[in-house]
Structure 1
Amino acid sequence: MTKLQERGWLDSAAVQRAFDVLEQDGDVARAVGGTVRNSLLGEVVDDVDIACTALPDVVLARAKAAGVKAVPTGVDHGTVTLVIDHRPIEVTCLREDVETHGRHATVKFGRDWTKDAERRDFTMNAVYVDRHGDLFDPLGGVEDCLNRHLRFIGDARARIREDYLRILRFFRFFATYGRGDINPEGYAACLELKDGLAHLSKERITKEVLRTLTAPRTLDALELMEQGGILKLILGEDADCLRLKRLLQLEDLPEAAADPVLRLGGLAGPQVCEHLRLSNGQKKQIEVAAAVAEALRSSGQSTQDLKALLVAHGTAGVIDGLLTAWMYGFVQSEAQLREMLDFAQGWEIPTFPLTGKLMIAAGIPAGPGMGKAMRLAQQIWADADYQCPADQLMAELKTLLGDKGKKT
């Protein structure tokens, strides 16, 4: 293949305008990376990245002269972002590595397209296309793309030592784009150098893990990581692919089952929060799902049990908990799971009718006893199947508090 077929993005006014800005005085520009890869694979193109022979300061000057907004997002590393018709287009000067040291490399700018390709990670990410749709493929990336064969550029071990995150990217790309068996040389290199993952920040690991969990072949990739000892290394000793497999084997997966945070919690348990850099909201989601799952295991799975959990944790928390309980084997039949999911999604959670102000107005004093009185009122409300109105609930509460007072 010499011409790009899926090129709607390439023919857009914004992208062609970017080429107009860049290709002056003999300079050449070509789109590269995920932009071209996704086009070859028929996938959605979200971002446009362009490589160019012009130096960053030249790009900035040309953009200014053309009235195009330019942001020096990584000018020291050769990157400028053009904003055209509200669309960001990242432009990077051709580079070649002088020295590599982990995530960061010492690079020099140049005009050699093959050397620029050789510093990238996978062959499918090293295909270029010019403004007319003509492909430039110095490393055989087009064939790898069309065959959905993920392959490191050159020596896999050398590529990984340049940035150990490429181990996780290897599995994510396999899960997202791969077909057939994983590349054996790449897989062997990842296992050999897996201890290098300790040099990565939790933020970078977290991002790759969550993206892998939503990929089409997530289970295939994670099982390979598990077999190679990588999964427990990054997620902790509780990580077990069998739980995620149980979820993915469900027919007509509930929408919530696609959530990567839910999948992560089921795969690795609440202790995974110690190994990754999750937001407070993500941590809470995992912890609530685990708590609901444990309650379903230990306290029961009746309609009344579900109502209590829904009142305490909300619909989303209980649905996550039900799916987590399924992953852990706490729910034995799929029919029972479906029934409970239907109830959780359909039951309208009532609002507790009493407030602290109402209780004080009714003569219940503020202070340490208020919390106990509130919990007692909530128990009365639950025993009445959450149907007790405020006045009746208050009357019963005051009666019980009075009786308790007499006994003491």
Structure 2
Amino acid sequence: MTRLQQSSWLTSAAVQRAFDVLEQDDDVARAVGGTVRNSLLGEVVDDVDIACTALPDVVLARADAAGVRAIPTGVDHGTVTLVIDRQPIEVTCLREDVETHGRHATVKFGRDWTKDAQRRDFTMNALYVDRHGELFDPLGGLEDCLNRHLRFIGDAHARIREDYLRILRFFRFFATYGQGEINADGYAACIELKDGLSHLSKERITKEVLRTLSAPRALDSLLLMEQGGILQLILGDEAASSRLARLLELEELPEAARQPVLRLGGVAGPQVAELLRLSNAQKKQIEIAADIAEVLHSRGQSKQQLKALLVAHGTDAVVDGVLTAWMNDDVLSEAELKELLAFAQNWEIPSFPLTGKMMIAGGIPAGPDMGKAMRLAQQVWADADYQQSAESLLEKVKVLLADEVK
């Protein structure tokens, strides 16, 4: 039998206790989906999902009798979450689809493992393993999984029409687990049915896009999406996989370059915020990086310019901006890029030494003059390469203000 490369999750006390709760009165439970897939591939197992022949109400009753906390997270769809030793374990009754309508389907519960497998998306996700590690492969997905070959279960068009998010999941899974060429039938079906993406919420699209951008084969997936017209559909006409390619060509990839939000902004530009559902922090990160990239492009990359940007925005934002500039412009050499990044990461950003209280104590009244004085002081400070003391700045500002009155 094929052995799990990563099985510590299966032998854990929490998971074995879950099997104890579920496997009573001839009911059978098996771990399923990504839990099994990742175990077979030696990937990290973040979550444990279990499929079970017991009905949700029975699972809840058994958990209560065993003193195990159970949360009815999706009882109507057959899902209960057991919490054992603070670990959530999602348990779902075996199901088969009666009617599909997007994210949720009308299902009926049953005891047929093959029908449960047939309602899933990809063959590598239709694998089960019992509490002893014995594998159950009703649809022949084991070979696909071990070969990292992503293939839809049954007819790709039918699977996609059940939920158009599967188009984006196809590319995300290929970027994360795929090896070799993408499955031709699945790829063709995704392109043919891409207009169905318009039925999806921005939230669901955003989640898939960001996960794809952080995957090992992100560039391969983006290029395929671009060739099929999918990338432009979800990220706008300006989106280009070549920008991510330029980033990944760097001999030494900075840690910041692995961020999916940084990659998204570089590939699609700040206008992508109108197409996706990004958090305010994510929008701000992309916008500031684009602004900094524009400054570096239009005003040059002098150390003084970089210092001004660092003082205004901080190290992380400037590193993002430098990398965004690199993704969108071929003016810099890689050696110049490394020099800019090294300076941005190592220059100790000074704190502006002058405060409003100091100005008032020095004779500058609160009000409009205070704002003007503060702006003058910051300009003097920058012109002096951020070396002036508070006292020196205050004296120079008072002189400048007096000259303006004259």
TM-score (norm 2): 0.98
Q: Report if aligned partners of 1:31, 1:50 keep a CA contact under 8 Å in 2.
A: yes
Percent identical among aligned pairs is 81
Gaps of 5+ in 2: none
Deviation at 1:330, TM superposition (A): 5.3
Q: Report if aligned partners of 1:144, 1:150 keep a CA contact under 8 Å in 2.
A: yes
Determine the structure 1 residue equivalent to 2:100.
100
SS in 2 for 1:81: strand
In the alignment, does 2:405 pair up with 1:405? yes
* AA in 1 matched with 2:193: L
Determine the structure 1 residue equivalent to 2:294.
294
Deviation at 1:6, TM superposition (A): 3.2
Determine the structure 2 residue equivalent to 1:26.
26
* AA in 2 matched with 1:147: N
Determine the structure 2 residue equivalent to 1:133.
133
* AA in 2 matched with 1:397: V
Q: Report if aligned partners of 1:262, 1:324 keep a CA contact under 8 Å in 2.
A: yes
Q: Report if aligned partners of 1:123, 1:153 keep a CA contact under 8 Å in 2.
A: yes
Point out the more displaced range, 365-374 or 66-75. 365-374
Per-residue CA distance 1:338-379 (angstroms, 9 max, x = gap): 011111111000001112222222222222332222111110
Gaps of 5+ in 1: none
Point out the more displaced range, 353-362 or 233-242. 353-362
Determine the structure 1 residue equivalent to 2:271.
271
* AA in 2 matched with 1:230: I
Q: Residues of 2 paired with 1:5 and 1:393: CA distance?
A: 65
In the alignment, does 2:352 pair up with 1:352? yes
Determine the structure 1 residue equivalent to 2:242.
242
SS in 1 for 2:138: coil
Q: Residues of 2 paired with 1:5 and 1:308: CA distance?
A: 51
Q: Report if aligned partners of 2:293, 2:325 keep a CA contact under 8 Å in 1.
A: yes
Per-residue CA distance 1:213-247 (angstroms, 9 max, x = gap): 01000000000000001001101111011111000
Q: Residues of 2 paired with 1:285 and 1:388: CA distance?
A: 31
Determine the structure 1 residue equivalent to 2:118.
118
Q: Report if aligned partners of 1:4, 1:129 keep a CA contact under 8 Å in 2.
A: no
In the alignment, does 2:310 pair up with 1:340? no
Deviation at 1:5, TM superposition (A): 4.8
Q: Residues of 1 paired with 2:179 and 2:330: CA distance?
A: 34
Gap change, CA 1:5 and 1:379, over 3 Å in 2? closer
Q: Residues of 1 paired with 2:40 and 2:249: CA distance?
A: 30
In the alignment, does 2:220 pair up with 1:233? no
Determine the structure 1 residue equivalent to 2:152.
152
Q: Report if aligned partners of 2:290, 2:324 keep a CA contact under 8 Å in 1.
A: yes
The count of aligned residue pairs is 406
* AA in 2 matched with 1:34: G
Determine the structure 2 residue equivalent to 1:169.
169
Deviation at 1:11, TM superposition (A): 1.1
Determine the structure 2 residue equivalent to 1:82.
82
RMSD: 1.0
SS in 1 for 2:151: coil
Q: Residues of 2 paired with 1:205 and 1:127: CA distance?
A: 26
**Shift >6 Å, 4+ stretches:** none
Q: Residues of 1 paired with 2:134 and 2:3: CA distance?
A: 5
Q: Residues of 1 paired with 2:263 and 2:72: CA distance?
A: 38
Deviation at 1:275, TM superposition (A): 0.6
Deviation at 1:4, TM superposition (A): 3.7
Q: Residues of 2 paired with 1:63 and 1:212: CA distance?
A: 37
Gap change, CA 1:3 and 1:344, over 3 Å in 2? closer
Q: Residues of 1 paired with 2:368 and 2:93: CA distance?
A: 67
Q: Residues of 2 paired with 1:5 and 1:394: CA distance?
A: 67
Deviation at 1:102, TM superposition (A): 1.7
SS in 2 for 1:9: helix
Q: Report if aligned partners of 2:68, 2:84 keep a CA contact under 8 Å in 1.
A: yes
Q: Residues of 2 paired with 1:369 and 1:109: CA distance?
A: 74
Gap change, CA 1:44 and 1:367, over 3 Å in 2? same
SS in 1 for 2:10: coil
